Amino acid sequence: MDTLNFTNQLYEEGNLYPFDITRGIQEIRIGILTIREKWEKLHEKLKQHPGGKSGLTFPVNLIPSNEFPGEIASPENDFTKESNNYRLLVSPRQIFEFNDWAIRSDFKLITHGRVSQKISPSNHAIQPANIFIEEGAIVEYSTINATDGPVYIGKNALIMEGALIRGPFAACEGAVIKMGAKIYGATTIGPHCIAGGEIKNSVFFGYSNKAHDGYLGDSVIGEWCNMGAGTSNSNIKNTAGSIKLWNNTSKLFETAGIKCGLLMGDYSRCAINTSFNTGTVVGICCNIFGNTMPPKYIPNFSWGNEKYILAKALEDIDNWKRLKGLTITESEKNLLTDLQSS
């Protein structure tokens, strides 16, 4: 198997909104790695497996685990059936629902046969054998409890003093965890994100900020998002009843279990002290502000209650990217231009 082949046979376009309109499905981060990165690391194992020699085609929304090659002995495998060795991603809320499983799997895949950097004695580490710190990471005067799941600290990540972390947890390359942050599993802070306040069972894709106090739970935050100080979300109704979540394919609110927080698409931002209702879906390129609680569905390119002018949206994105040493690309401009006009 020299190449990996993928099919959209088990994926319906739009089902992972708002995260599938600005990226390929394989660029979605769940656990420590993106789906594509998982396949790349598993490629050698797949080639060596007897079932891999014939060259197989996998669903683009299939999330493989570290143990996945054992599942490919039969090319006729039905990936719609449940297995602990893979997950089929068909709903955006599954990104946080599967994150516990995915962090554990990726931790094994990444750390197998490797040795962690030493844990500084200034930290209070519980179950240190379940903690892996990459080269260049700085972790001082923090409490890290890996009793309930592994903790992965990526290359050049910074865990500031007083951070309280419980696994399963991943801080990816260049991520920053602010002083006094309280982070529960299963949470992923993606590359070059900044995280502070209280966070539980949430996934940040990359380059996004929740730098201040406020609660975020059972949520997924795309790339280049920013949450103003004091922003919080509800993740369970006061009645503990079923949550209704916007489905952008059916254009209806559909039942989505009893726990779901905020799903925020790329390039979206909210003002200080924003309060998001249970099961809120925010599209891409939104600037959220106002004196009332935002609606449970905020369409792409929203500026408060108005439409975000494209030229202004692109300028603002470039401003935010410059804060992290980057600039908006021509491909981003073209993609967003096409999306606004569609």
Q: Helices 99-111 and 35-48: crossing angle, nearest 10°? A: 50
What are the angstrom distances between the C-alpha of 260 and each of 31, 93, 202, 219?
A: 18, 7, 10, 7
Nearest C-alpha neighbor of 338 from the set 285, 298, 288: 285
Q: What pLDDT does residue 84 have? A: 85
Nearest C-alpha neighbor of 159 from the set 150, 168, 170: 170
d(C-alpha 272, C-alpha 43), whole Å: 44
Q: In degrees rounded to 5, what are phi and psi of residue 197?
A: 75, -150
Q: In degrees rounded to 5, what are phi and psi of residue 44?
A: -65, -40
Helix (H) or strand (E) holding 226: strand 226-227
d(C-alpha 302, C-alpha 158), whole Å: 33
CB atoms within 10 A of CB 41: 16
In the three-class reduction of DSSP (H, G, I as helix; E, B as strand; rest coil), residue 169 is classed as strand
Longest dimension (CA), the chain: 61
d(C-alpha 233, C-alpha 260), whole Å: 10
Strands 169-171 and 187-189: parallel
| Full-model pTM | 0.94
Helix (H) or strand (E) holding 152: strand 151-153
For 144-173, letters b (16+ CB in 10 Å) and e give bbbebbbbbbbebbbbbeebbbbbbbbbbb
What are the angstrom distances between the C-alpha of 139 and each of 142, 168, 173, 177, 276?
A: 7, 17, 13, 10, 32
d(C-alpha 100, C-alpha 103), whole Å: 5
Q: What pLDDT does residue 80 have? A: 82
Structure token pair of residue 41: 């690391």
Instruction: For tokens 């409890």, name the residue.
Output: 145
Q: What pLDDT does residue 1 have? A: 45
Structure token pair of residue 222: 């795309």
pLDDT tens by residue, the chain, 342 residues: 456 778 888 888 889 999 999 999 999 999 999 999 999 888 777 766 655 544 567 889 999 998 877 666 555 677 888 788 899 999 999 999 999 999 999 999 999 999 999 999 999 999 999 999 999 999 999 999 999 999 999 999 999 999 999 999 999 999 999 999 999 999 999 999 999 999 999 999 999 999 999 999 999 999 999 999 999 999 999 999 999 999 999 999 999 999 999 999 999 999 999 999 999 999 999 999 998 999 999 999 999 999 999 999 999 999 999 999 999 999 999 999 999 988
Bond from prior residue into 59 cis (ω within 30 degrees of 0): no
- Are 60 and 53 a contacting pair, CB within 8 Å? no
Q: What pLDDT does residue 75 have? A: 53
Q: Where are the alpha helices (DSSP H) in 17-76?
A: 35-48
Return the bridge partners of 245, or none. 254
